[in-house]
Structure 1
């Protein structure tokens, strides 16, 4: 892409879930057309877009049609097959973020190795390919330690705490005896996250930090802007910039951080937990807290437009609506300080993200 895409261009999104839906809505607001590729009919994103290709993510015909139809393509989740992205690129499509970012984010060992390489500190870790590896890693890292599958897994799935060597065999079986990573325990006081974007020209825009609260491994609430000092925000910004530049990234990136408490210098000691090469649940607060939210920012970046402002004009408490909590829509819609965002999913299964509400307050 040598120049910004004009309004009226068509963008493609791999994935038809809630993130794809909100990306499509942001793109429509800027005058773009959107085509979704998702194997499920009547997807949340497909229903608000110009069209949907109903096919597997690795279907060569579907990928060819998407690439030829769209002037730029992106994805809403990091577990889209890397081979699909490569096929789109080989067919001449402009795909952002690129395959390098996708490959790093899809393998937790590669991810942490990359992060350490650009100066973003993580917990100590060890790759695990069998029970003997797990026992050796426990001896080196100590227990308790967190065992995670190397690939896939989200919202607390595909991971288990190993509290002693006696638990190792059961833990290994619990994750399906799949290639894994063992992570040392982080003694942190809270989880923070930073949403950042990098444009095609290398410009970077970073949002204020958010503070995250989880329940049963699933994000429940983000409070933003988080109450942090200028030094902590500066450190988080520097970490995000190093990651974005190291990946030659285009688009919005989510970076989850462990706050270990005050350093000897100004600011908190921060460890990177993980990154997400896409718009992120902890950035939903920007929809009602910032002039340019994370979804518009991502569309701007992949289309080659200038990045938008990231300054917060409200303080926001974002709360996920899980399962039948979405039935609170009537009560929530009547509150003057609440902005309701529903995803249009048909079935409210326990723990399923059905929407979120942003409660706004003055800064």
Structure 2
């Protein structure tokens, strides 16, 4: 693809905080941004040239987006892959591809893809019925983790099974949706690698982040992570295999378990900029949002060298109400997503309202 000229228009499917930060990065590079999503007052629409408010399946509005934009990307992995197919059928340039999105939307397909490309994962079984679940538990043992194959995030759509007596209740929790049972991973730490690939096939990886979750939601990321060179090298190799195997264009994140023996197991692939990459906004010359825009726009990839150590902390629910104290912290930068909430009830517990990057060294 030929590099986009200054002033070109980029369309973004998805209107949340990731779209907001992508739009801000694109604007800084001289691009116009059109947001496509269901919320007229969304975090992304607030900072963009314009927004098209419609369901992701609305082909009339999708066609208008295709006419207006020089390239179209997405910030949300639950955008229907069929919408990307429709845009491509109209001649729109779309990145990442619908194939990459389909593969990473389904946890079973994702893990099969990983294994086909020589990447280790936790052991797993596809589950479509209670009988499947019983057979899977017999194979994998307990405790094990039952997840929906699609759409779960931040601890949603999953349940731990600790005893055989839990099977029916656990299956009912997912309301009959196709699922995956994963063996428990006895890991020492959780890390992620954020990486990018452009249209020419060039690959660039950011330094590794170490992640700490609370209640299934990412709480903090410390980067660069204090891990051995062997683990760093393994993570970068895995990220390259994923990018090249998917013929991916843009930024993605690969979440990994570090085992006690030093091996890495793939947990999940996120086909987008990622929460664990927010530290790059203050830790790298080119952050993950600018890198994604560079990649899909056909520009050279930016420098991902870490300039300092950063601890990113998510601000969930009422955490954001402490903005005055947080904004006064030395050696820290506060990022607010602009999400509305009731003055009476406050932000919804667990909702991502912002984050803060603290410079550690």
CA distance in 2, matches of 1:107, 1:229: 31
Counting matched residue pairs gives 356
Match of 1:351, SS state, is coil
Match of 2:16 in 1: 17
Residue aligned with 2:286, SS: coil
Alpha-carbon RMSD: 0.7
2:40 maps to what in 1? 41
1:189 paired residue number: 188
> What SS is found at the alignment partner of 2:333?
strand
3-state SS in 2 of match to 1:136: helix
- Residue in 2 aligned with 1:265? none
Matches within 5 A, 1:1-363: 1=1, 3-262=2-261, 268-347=262-341, 348-362=347-361
Give, in whole Å, the separation in 1 of the partners of 2:93 and 2:296: 9
SS at match of 1:211: strand
Question: What is the CA distance between 1:355 and its match in structure 2?
Answer: 0.2
Deviation at residue 31 of structure 1 after TM alignment: 0.1
Partner SS for 2:187: coil
- Residue 57 (structure 1) shift: 0.6
Give unpaired runs (5+ residues) of structure 2. Answer: 342-346
Name the CA distance, whole Å, in 2 between partners of 1:118 and 1:5: 32
Deviation (angstroms), 1:261: 2.2
SS at match of 1:137: helix
In the alignment, structure 1 segments of 5+ residues that lack a partner are 263-267
SS in 2 for 1:189: strand
1:56-114 C-alpha deviation (Å, 9 max, x unpaired): 11101110011110000000110001110100000111111001110011111100000
Q: Which runs of 4+ in 1 moved over 2 A?
A: none
Per-residue deviation at 1:361?
Answer: 2.4
**TM-score relative to the length of structure 1:** 0.97
Q: Distance in 2 between matches of 1:49 and 1:41?
A: 12
Paired residue secondary structure (1:255):
strand
Cα deviation, residue 203, structure 1:
0.3
Question: 1:24, CA displacement in angstroms?
Answer: 0.1
Describe the superposition over 1:290-323 as per-residue Cα deviations: whole angstroms up to 9, x where unpaired.
Answer: 0000000000000000000111001000000000
TM-score (structure 2 length as normaliser): 0.98
Q: CA deviation at 1:41?
A: 1.2
Describe the superposition over 1:251-271 as per-residue Cα deviations: whole angstroms up to 9, x where unpaired: 001000001024xxxxx2100
Secondary structure of 2:156's counterpart equals coil
Structure 2 distance, partners of 1:158, 1:301, is: 32
